[in-house]
């Protein structure tokens, strides 16, 4: 049986060490990416909620404008003129 030379053993040791470094790097990168994914999911949920709020606000404003337009068109209603109000105190 032939005994492996020192160079071969050294090369194998270097390969094993490089592989171990790769595993450590991969695990650290995985943790970093998982943390980033969690924060991005939180941001997505916040933006989704904000979008819903803005859509409700848009619908509310659109409904008010529609009612005012229909009141003017169908019923002939007009907006009141601005009146200057003077408050007299005794």
From first to last of its 90 residues, the chain has per-residue pLDDT tens of: 677 799 999 999 999 999 999 999 999 999 999 999 999 999 999 999 999 999 999 888 888 888 888 889 999 988 777 787 788 887
Cβ atoms of 12 and 6 within 8 Å: the answer is no
Report the predicted TM-score, pTM, of the whole model to 2 decimal places.
0.54
Distance from C-alpha of 83 to C-alpha of 78, rounded to nearest angstrom: 14
Q: What is the pLDDT of residue 60?
A: 86
Cβ atoms of 78 and 72 within 8 Å: the answer is yes
Among 51, 54, 79, residue whose Cα is nearest residue 65:
79
Show me where the domains of the chain are located: 1-90
């Amino acid at each position: 049986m032939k005994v492996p030379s020192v160079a071969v053993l050294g090369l194998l040791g270097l390969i094993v060490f490089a592989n171990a470094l790769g595993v450590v790097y991969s695990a650290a990168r995985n943790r970093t990416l998982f943390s980033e994914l969690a924060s991005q999911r939180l941001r997505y949920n916040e933006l989704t909620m904000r979008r819903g709020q803005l859509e409700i606000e848009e619908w509310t404003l659109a409904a008010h404008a529609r009612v005012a337009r229909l009141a003017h068109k169908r019923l002939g209603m007009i907006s009141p003129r601005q009146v200057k109000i003077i408050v007299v105190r005794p």
